[in-house]
Amino acid sequence: MTEQNLSPLGDSAITVTIGEGISEALSDKVVAEARAVADNQIPGVIDVVASYASVTVHYDPLRIGYADLKSRLLSIDRTGSSTSNERSVTEHVIPVRYNGEDLEEVAQRTQLSTQAVIEIHSQRIYRVFVIGFVPGFAYLGVLDPRLVLPRRESPRKRVPAGSVAIAEAQTGIYPTETPGGWHLIGTTHMRMFDPNRKDPALFAVGDRVRFEPV
């Protein structure tokens, strides 16, 4: 970690750039960095947000200044946290009814049977790369290349909460009813986001997720 990795996001956040692009190896490093920063409990740091290739550290500038936070971030002890493997990785099993409105269309466009789509989608263990878009929405990857389709040309105005969907090389679950452009292949009753839970989002970046047909 050098000064080159740190850049200000305004006066209340610092972006720590770990690498470029999207890969599982990079995501491991991002998760390790986010944990290292969170574990340090630097006074004034409010939240740590991991994404594909960077970690964003949100802070209160009335409690810690930019220069101080930068030097604290540079001096964090990162030995022993270079990979996330040393800590337990949470694995979630999500029961899915593969009854999505777009399942037939996905099967046609991928030239697979619906049964094959279900098998391919539920065979992989996915990784949570990013949480965003709406509270608790997890971008899961990487999808089997046989299921990769561009987003729908016109997004739906309303996608019901609990919809399991795919788009490009990603899959995800809509936590709440929202507009959305992904292909709906199934539904789950799991509550992806609950603002009154201790951990409002069911998934955290770095978690693993498996879908189980029911």
Give the footprint of another protein on this chain (CB under 8 A).
Answer: 7-13, 15, 20-22, 46-56, 58, 61-62, 65-67, 130-137, 139, 176, 178, 193, 195-196, 199-201, 204-205
Contact call for residues 202 and 190 (beta carbons, < 8 A): yes
Contact call for residues 36 and 81 (beta carbons, < 8 A): yes
Our CB check for another protein shows the closer of 52 and 98 to be 52
- Closest by CA position to 1, among listed 22, 40, 29, 43: 29
CB of 35 to another protein, least distance (A): 11
Torsion, CA 197, CA 188, CA 150, CA 210, rounded to 10: 80
CB of 126 to another protein, least distance (A): 17
Greatest Cα pair distance in the chain:
58
Q: How far apart are CA 154 and CA 63, in angstroms?
A: 46
Our CB check for another protein shows the closer of 21 and 145 to be 21
CB of 106 to another protein, least distance (A): 24
Our CB check for another protein shows the closer of 118 and 201 to be 201
Q: How far apart are CA 173 and CA 85, in angstroms?
A: 25
The structure tokens 């019901």 sit at 160
CB of 160 to another protein, least distance (A): 14
CB of 113 to another protein, least distance (A): 33
| Tokens representing residue 129 in the block | 């790369």
Q: How far apart are CA 105 and CA 19, in angstroms?
A: 36
Our CB check for another protein shows the closer of 51 and 81 to be 51
Our CB check for another protein shows the closer of 13 and 149 to be 13
